[in-house]
Chains A and B, each alone.
Chain A
Amino acid sequence: MRSQTDVVTFVNRYRILLLLALVFLFMALFAPRFLNMFNMTIIMKSASLNAMAAIGFTIVLICGHLDLSVSSTISLGAVLVIGFRPDLGWSGAIVAAVAAGGFVGLVNGLLVAKARIHSFIVTIGTLTIVQGIIYVYTGGAALNVTGALDFAVADFLEDPILLFFPPRVIITILVIVGFEVFFLRTKPGRNFYMVGGNRETAWLAGVKADAYVIWAFIISGCAAALSGALFAIGISSATTDLGVNSLMIIVAATIIGGASMNGGKGQVLYSGIAVLMLTVLFNGLNRFGVGSEFRILASGVILASVVLYEAYSNYKKERIRGQRPELLKELDPQQLKNVTSSLKTREL
């Protein structure tokens, strides 16, 4: 009995790592031309765009809100970095693009935290508005740069310098790990979890919830814009709808990575790994030469299984609760904590 719950807890906790290992093993064994250095580079590069944007989505989710505007913000970062490049140079353009993303986040944050409008509404609105601004700015066409130096910068970002890690991937990993450490190891970082997980405790602890919500949205805007900008520099150009498909992948990955729509749960690193897992899956499916419908189907099946599994285990817990309290004693302490904390949130 005891060991069985141990396994369950272990699987629950490291779900995403096990999933990644499983998918990777399957593809390594069966997908043709999957296992080689070059393909690993491709996977890392492809995962970078959404993995970095997922940072922001995850942290907003941890705070108990939604940021649906990430896909427009990715495009915004990409379009602005290319648009500003001739006037500001690369570094200036990156700063400007990230600042613009941060501004979108600030607007989202203020509307959610101060004007008290639901984040779902606010970010659907800004999703549309930012997309419209991009169209007005570009006139509907993509932007590009074609200087020899621009190509050199692009090649530098995209070619591996260490094993199968190109600089763009290394930057992405550093940013993700940096945020992971910040959110888990520092006091202000942990406060984000408190704000989303238990508002009352946060209030009692003197945490200014509004400020944290606003910062979460700013981080989200910045991360999305930065990921779009880096991608654009790597391809020396930007389309007006670069991020349009990212939102659904990011939502799926964040949930598979263990975050909860109710807030207070999730990890930036695990969201990133979930994006990587989906990329490995897609890459492997491409190696089989099947159509894009299988990518959609496979990600749907994985997402559905994860959601169903989580919902079902919660459901079982709920049934135990209130009906047969003596059973609670048999649960392990971690699970018990979950139950009581969910009890608390319900009562609020």
Chain B
Amino acid sequence: MKRLGLIALVLMLAGGMVAFAGGAREADTAVAEDNLERSLEVDISGLRSADGQTLLPELSSKEVPSRPDNPRSLPETDPMHWYDMEYLGWGVEEKINIPDSPADGAIGKRVIAIINGDHPYLTAYSTGMQKIADAYSMDLTVLSPNWDLAEQNQMLDEAINERPDMIILVPLDARVAIQQVRRVNRAGVPIILSNMLPEEEAMQYAIAWTGPDDWGQFREMARVWADELGRSGGVAYIRHAPGGSPYFARTYGPITELAEYAPDIETLDMQAPGFEAEATMQVVSDWLTRFGDRLTGIGLADDSAQAIGTIEALRRAGREDVLVIAAGNSKVGMDMVKDGDLLAITYQSAEADGAVALKTAVDWFNGLDVDPVLYIPKQVITQENVEDFMPAQW
């Protein structure tokens, strides 16, 4: 009985406090009349990321083929099989319930960014975003759910509760994003998606998606790779962690590209040992035993731990001839490209990734037209141009 009484006490305490606070929300602050003008005048062309590149690069779009009737029925080596993953958001013509832009300037706006976890890339990502926020004196909060879906949902709800002027979301998963974005949309808060691709349906509830063209980058790099391989030989792939688009893009991007560009290159195997140097090292060693000289190339989903393990295994086996490509671009990966250990990595500016997402929000606040899908530029880093991208962002 005593216990029940105590529980009741705690609940009453909570209830009373809630009633007392009464869901108080801060009143909107009035926006100065010349805010829009001042916002439009802000010059951010001088901003640079830590690697000396322009923070805000030229954004690109890409050619979109028409959608086949049933992409999943095509073979996995056909690029069209992955249509729904690669060209998300382009098919969405009708947007639902997107709030109108206030068109009163970006200065002083409150933005909540919810990323997907803690990772050096995302630290640099947040840095890039903060640079834009500083330039426009915006109030930016970046929250990380540490790769936990339940936590990310909680943060989204909390963000809705705070009624910011914009939410920027890096979805943990493409398919989960639909319901997440729909919830934010239903609450009437504008949302921009960033970095990780969502499913197409999510795009009808969002203003835009910005981020790297993972598929395109790997296609471009696959061509460089194929040329160096002499368009023949056998390759194997170390995959990203399951779940999320990179798991597919960084393996099937090159596979489908090679199927067209260099059909003689054989795909030998693919494994997902995680981002762990020792485990990757063992998988690669096992491949060397299993395939011997047939293995001439390895594609990696990560240029840190996976690259370290791969190169170490190759070195121990005396197989420095195997050509390795990886998704970039960490400091570890850049150093390995410089040393000639890695043939190529992708250039994906983490700071630009974050900056572009917020800059898109700025454009929307300023009442400008915003493209629904924006890619940060893709580039392949090899030994020749690696110096241009030093020092690495993360």
Complex: A in contact with B (CB within 8 Å): yes
A283 vs chain B, min Cβ distance (A): 7
Instruction: Give complex CA distance A27, B187 in Å.
Output: 25
Residue total for B at the interface (Cβ-Cβ under 8 A): 51
Q: A38 and B243: CB pair below 8 A?
A: no
B174 at interface, CB cutoff 8 A: yes
Mask, A130-174, CB within 8 Å of B = 1, is 000001000011111010000100100010000110000000000
B159 vs chain A, min Cβ distance (A): 10
A292 at interface, CB cutoff 8 A: yes
Q: B6 and A240: CB pair below 8 A?
A: no
Q: B18 and A36: CB pair below 8 A?
A: yes
Instruction: Give complex CA distance A296, B201 in Å.
Output: 34
Which candidate, A13-21, A188-196, A200-208, A302-310, is the interface stretch facing chain B?
A13-21
Instruction: Give complex CA distance A154, B243 in Å.
Output: 22
A165 vs chain B, min Cβ distance (A): 11
A-B contact count (CB 8 A): 136
B23 at interface, CB cutoff 8 A: yes
Residue of B10, B18, B153 near A37 (CB, 8 A) is B18
Q: A24 and B13: CB pair below 8 A?
A: yes
Mask, A224-237, CB within 8 Å of B = 1, is 00000001000111
Task: Label chain B's interface by main secondary structure.
Answer: helix
B24 at interface, CB cutoff 8 A: yes
Q: B3 and A14: CB pair below 8 A?
A: yes
B64 at interface, CB cutoff 8 A: no
Contacts A38-B161, A42-B154: A236 and B178 contacting too (C-beta < 8 A)?
yes
Interface size class of A (residues with CB under 8 A): 35 or more
Which candidate, B144-152, B357-365, B383-391, is the interface stretch facing chain A?
B144-152
Instruction: Give complex CA distance A135, B141 in Å.
Output: 35
Instruction: Give complex CA distance A242, B160 in Å.
Output: 22
B130 vs chain A, min Cβ distance (A): 13
B276 at interface, CB cutoff 8 A: no
**Residue of chain A at shortest CB distance from B26:** A33
Would you list which residues of chain B between 71 and 104 have a CB under 8 Å from chain A? none
Residue of B23, B145, B174, B179 near A236 (CB, 8 A) is B179
Given A151-B179, A239-B176, 7 other A-B residues pairs in contact with their CB atoms under 8 A: A24-B14, A38-B23, A42-B158, A154-B179, A282-B154, A292-B145, A293-B118
Chosen A-B contacts, 24 in total, with CB atoms closer than 8 Å, are A14-B6, A33-B161, A35-B18, A36-B18, A36-B23, A36-B24, A36-B161, A37-B18, A42-B161, A45-B153, A45-B157, A46-B151, A140-B247, A141-B247, A151-B182, A154-B179, A164-B18, A236-B178, A238-B176, A242-B149, A245-B147, A245-B150, A286-B155, A292-B118
